[in-house]
Amino acid sequence: MTPDERRNGILKALEKTETPLSATKLARQFGVSRQIIVGDVALLRASEIKIFATPRGYVLNRDSGSQKHTIACRHESLSLLQKELYLVVDNGCGLIDVIVDHDLYGQIIGQLHIFSRHDADEFLSRLNKTHSVPLSALTGGVHLHTLSCPDEDSFGRVLKELKKAGILFEENF
């Protein structure tokens, strides 16, 4: 298999799945090292194919015509992080990313692609297993999310529930 054939195979694998594919899984599938896959994905991205690296693996950007909204949130505990994630997905929206404004580096964006409680639980499990901290820990809990929502009603429900939980960041915070 040539490198071009492998990259086409990676793209086809990403097109066929709705769930993230890890570099390790792709490496096994194509009989190469994980680092070869990372390089292949970098080359695919350089050719303007929108592939995102999430905590669970690579996903292809599928702009389904859903509405994108940016919200500001604030919380400092992992229990509120879980509540935030659940409130968003339980009300029909997905979390595309998390964004923080760092004093030194400026805007830092972490890809999430969390669309279900299962996705949220996997993210939280990896957070615990790797002894990592959320990006929001860099900014006193303040962070932004880009949400993908099927309609305005879903977005409205998310805002209402996050506000009720004290997670939505508002001017009077």
Q: What is the pLDDT of residues 52-79, one digit of tens each?
A: 888 788 988 765 668 899 999 999 888 9
Intervals of CATH 1.10.10.10 along the chain:
3-60
- What would the mean pLDDT of 105-132 be, rounded to a whole number? 92
DSSP 71-122: EEEE--SHHHHHHHHHHHHHTT-EEEEEEEEETTTEEEEEEEEE-SHHHHHH
- pTM score of the predicted model: 0.73
What's the pLDDT score for residue 173? 42
Domain 67-164 has CATH 3.30.450.40: no
State the CATH architecture for 3-60: Orthogonal Bundle (1.10)
